[in-house]
Structure 1
Amino acid sequence: MDVRIYQPAKNAMQSGHAKTNTWILEFNPIAAERADELMGWSGGGDTRKQLQMKFSSKENAITFAEKKNLSYEVKEPKARKLQIKNYADNFALDRII
């Protein structure tokens, strides 16, 4: 498997669902990272791990991977629960604590 295609999760600081409708195509690393002896930083010669491509739909990402003869894995996003909360519900008389 050369690439993985997924839809990113929303940020923990984000209450809405903005910017979560993109799909990302990301290359899998070819070689493991190694520690630099002098500085102690981790790195390697694989520059494909820095590449992250964004697509507007899953089908576009799959089409790109097939056109470039890349084997791919699609990770479907988890279903989101719809929670409707009202600020006024905090002060309801029949509120369960």
Structure 2
Amino acid sequence: MKSARIYQRPKNAMQSGRARTDQWILEFEQQTTQQADPLTGWNGGSETTGQIRLAFPTLDAAKAYAEREGYAFHIVPAPAKKLKLQAYADNFR
């Protein structure tokens, strides 16, 4: 049985916006380990489900899809959002 994890898309660290952070992502977990290619040294394997990411508008929609398709899943809770309040004048202290 394939297993998957469901998590909420985090905020992009390189930008200040919060676009698409309300989406929930279903990502399949690797069943086998990747092997290093002896010629190039790159990691690879024969399992392609690790390349699939499905986006859903709500957590319930992601859970319903996983249950309908028969996937075992676990939900990774989103970390608590911390606000760092500072004034512009703090840059010059």
Correspondence for 2:76: 75
Kept in 1, the 8 Å contact 2:12–2:18? The answer is no
| Pairing of 1:1-97 with structure 2 (within 5 A) | 2-83=3-84, 89-91=87-89, 97=93
Offset from partner CA, 1:62-90 (integer Å, 9 cap, x none): 000000111100011112134556xxx42
SS of residue matched to 2:62: helix
TM-score of the superposition, structure 2-length normalised? Answer: 0.85
SS of residue matched to 1:63: helix
The amino acid of 2:57's aligned partner reads: S
Aligned mates of 1:21, 1:5 — CA distance in 2:
13
What number of residue pairs does the alignment pair up?
Answer: 91
Q: Which runs of 5+ in 2 are unaligned?
A: none
Q: Which runs of 5+ in 1 are unaligned?
A: none
- The alpha carbon displacement at 1:12 in A equals 1.2
Q: Which is higher, the Rg of structure 1 or of structure 2?
A: 1
Indicate the structure with greater strand content.
2
Aligned mates of 2:23, 2:41 — CA distance in 1:
35
TM-score of the superposition, structure 1-length normalised? Answer: 0.82
CA 1:39–1:57 in structure 2 vs 1: closer, same or farther (change >3 Å)?
A: same
Q: Percent identity?
A: 38
RMSD of equivalent CA atoms: 2.0
CA 1:29–1:91 in structure 2 vs 1: closer, same or farther (change >3 Å)?
A: closer
Query: Which segment is superposed worse, 2-11 or 13-22?
Result: 13-22
Structure 1 runs of 4+ aligned residues shifted over 6 Å read none
The amino acid of 2:51's aligned partner reads: Q
